[in-house]
Structure formats: C-alpha cells, structure tokens
Amino acid sequence: MDEAVIGMKCITVGSRLIGSGYPTFIIAEAGVNHDGNVEKAKKMIDVAVAAGADAVKFQTFTGETLASKDAQLATYHKKGAVSEKETLKELLKRLELNKEEHIVLFEYARSRGIMIFSTPFDEKSVDVLEELGVDLYKIASFSLTNYPLLRYIALKNKPMIMSTGLHTLGEIEEAVKVIYETGNIQLALLHCTSHYPITAADANLRTMNTLRSAFDVPVGYSDHTMGITITLASVALGASIVEKHFTLNIQDRGVDHDASISPAELYNLVQGIRDIEAAFGSSRKIIPEIEKEIQKVHRPSLVSRVDIAAGTVLSEEMITIKKPGTGIHPRDFSWVVGRKATVAIEADRLIKKDDLE
C-alpha cells in the first residue's frame, strides 16, 4: 500500500481528537434494540446521556435492500423472530427506522447534547444520514467487502470507523485501500468478533495491536461479550474507541437484547473507563504528593538499639533500622559507625546527624 496515504494517528470528529493519548471515545450502541419503535429509541438516547457516553449509535437500513429472499436467519436472529416462518428480510423490515423517525431521533439527541450517528448499509441510507448532518460514519463488519458502499461513504469526506470482524488481515487491507484511494484517510479500525454473544476466550484483544501496527490508525474494540469486563480490559490495552450494545431491558425479546448491557451497566462502563484513563497517569517514576506523608511514616531510618551515652563511639551493634523515614537514611549506616555521640541518645530513638561528630 502507498506509504504516502497510509495512516493517521488520530481522527477528528467534530471538535475532538480520537486516538492514542486522547480520552477513549465511548459509543453506546443502540443498534436495533429499539425494536423499530421510535419512542423506545428516544428512551435509549436518554440512557446514553445519563451514562455519560460520548455518542449514541443506531443502524440505518431497509429490510428490502439489506437482505435477499435467500438470506437465512443466524442463530441470534431467531431469538427475535416472531415465528419460525419469519424470514431475515421480514425481521429486518420490522426493525428498520424510516427517514422521518431518523429526523426525530437526531433532533432529540442533539437537544440532549449527545452526538448521534449511525451505521448505513446502503447508499440511500447514507444519503439520509448526510441530510441529517452526521459527524462520522460507522462501517459494520458485514459491509467490509461492500466496496461500492465504502467508496460512497468515503467520498463524503467524513471520519469513518470500521469494524473488522469476519475478515482476514488481507481483506481488511483491501478495504482500507479502497477507502484511502478516495483521498479520505480519516479512518479508525475496531477489532471485533462477530458473534452474539461471545465468551472472553473469543475476544482476542491482542488483535488490536496487530491492526495498529499494520495500518497506523486509531484502533478500538467493538465488544460482544457479556458484561463490561472485557470492554474495560480493551481500554487498559490501548483501545481509543469502544463500542458496546445496550438495551433498556435485557429480558426483552429481540435479536440483541440478551447480548447487550443494561442501563446500569452502561453507566458503570463509562465510569470504569474514565477511572482507567485517570489511572494511566505519567510514565515518570516520581514520588507524588499523596505519598509524601506515607513516605515519612513508613520509610526506615537509623535508630538507636540501646542507650548511648555522650562521648560513645557508635558500633554496628548499637544501631538498628526502623520507622519513621525522617532520620538518617539506611544507606549511611557505614558513615554513622565509628562516629562519636555528642549527646546522650535514648534507646529506640532516631539518630540525628547533629548528634554525631
């Protein structure tokens, strides 16, 4: 791939930078957990706002354009089917949101002060999102080899976040090349294991390092495990972006509800990520201010083992090492041995340099 066009170490979304060294961009993935109900979708926006997520994301598609008559239900789809005879096309039609509903949701999210964007699955969906003025686009793993769609989105010259499940490193490279050839190099990649849900053993978080090394772009994780532990681990390993499905009620019947986190878990996830970021601190090994009191209490100093009369020459047997750390440093043990006490030193007391000659 042409070195001249490879890689940006951060992308710009609105007024913020996303990449290594910047706060993790937290995407609350509403997906299709609104079940095609715009009022339910608005409640999900409220949850994302209350949790403190950076953005809430939906999916923009029509069942007609996304699936053919030959498309089969995956196992996780069947959890949301209304009958054994329902096709994937029919299921998707029930979950789609039309343009007017998108307008309602985008206006509502912006009134609540949260960024909103979506994953489009066809060019007409991209056109709808453009009319709504999205700040960035999400590319689903399922669309990674849909090169016409990749080009169409890339030519909008907006930042793009692309999930990479289901595909090899070589296929990801081809997709990146398709995007970069449009001149749009504002790209981030998310490691993803495309199954719903997955176990911790399926997460393979170290793949993020492979993507970062191979493409020199911001890298993150789209998490399909249960709970929030693995998402938090991805941030500790350097994820610049995390995406997590959430729902209003994990007991609801639907495609993704039981593989999503609850509103309370979403709140805990955001707080946990911010705590991890705060914990990164500095790479400099220093004694921080909060340690200085403890330093005085718990570091050791030279202490008299016995009563020492004035004029006594100190021997090793007269000296021990104990708390606190406000006296002579233990490294100076040999300097003290052989010196004369100028005053009487009571047993179990700090030996002071001013008391010696």
- Which domain covers residue 245, as residue numbers? 10-61+96-280
Q: 14: which DSSP letter?
A: T
Q: Dump pLDDT digits (tens) for 24-58.
A: 999 999 998 898 899 999 999 999 999 999 999 99
Q: Which residues contact 274 (CB under 8 A, 6 or more apart)?
A: 23, 52
Q: Give domain status of residue 337, yes or no.
A: yes
Q: Where residue 334 sits, what CATH number does that domain have?
A: 3.90.1210.10
Q: Are strands 301-304 and 241-245 parallel, antiparallel or unpaired?
A: unpaired
Q: Are residues 29 and 147 in the same domain?
A: yes
Give the number of domains in the chain. Answer: 2
Domain membership flag for residue 133: yes
* Domain match, 117 and 207 both: yes
Does some domain include residue 5? no
pLDDT in tens, 94-142: 888 999 999 999 999 999 999 999 999 999 999 999 999 999 999 999 9
Distance (Å) of CA 244 to CA 26, 62, 202: 8, 23, 16
Whole-number Å distance between alpha carbons of 256 and 274: 26
Say whether 278 sits in a helix, a strand or coil. Answer: helix
Task: Kindly report the pTM of this predicted structure.
Answer: 0.87
Q: Which of 280, 311, 328 is the last residue of a domain?
A: 280
Q: Verify that 225 and 195 share a domain, yes or no.
A: yes
- Could you tell me if residue 194 is inside a domain? yes
Q: How far is residue 11's CA from residue 185's CA, in Å, rounded to a whole number?
A: 9
> Same domain for 126 and 249?
yes
Q: How confident is the model at residue 5 (pLDDT cuts 50, 70, 90)?
A: very low
Q: Tell me the pLDDT tens digit for each residue of 158-213.
A: 999 999 999 999 999 999 999 999 999 999 999 999 988 899 999 999 999 999 99
263 plus 305 within the same structural domain = no
Domain boundary among 239, 256, 280: 280
Q: Are 316 and 337 in contact (CB under 8 A)?
A: yes
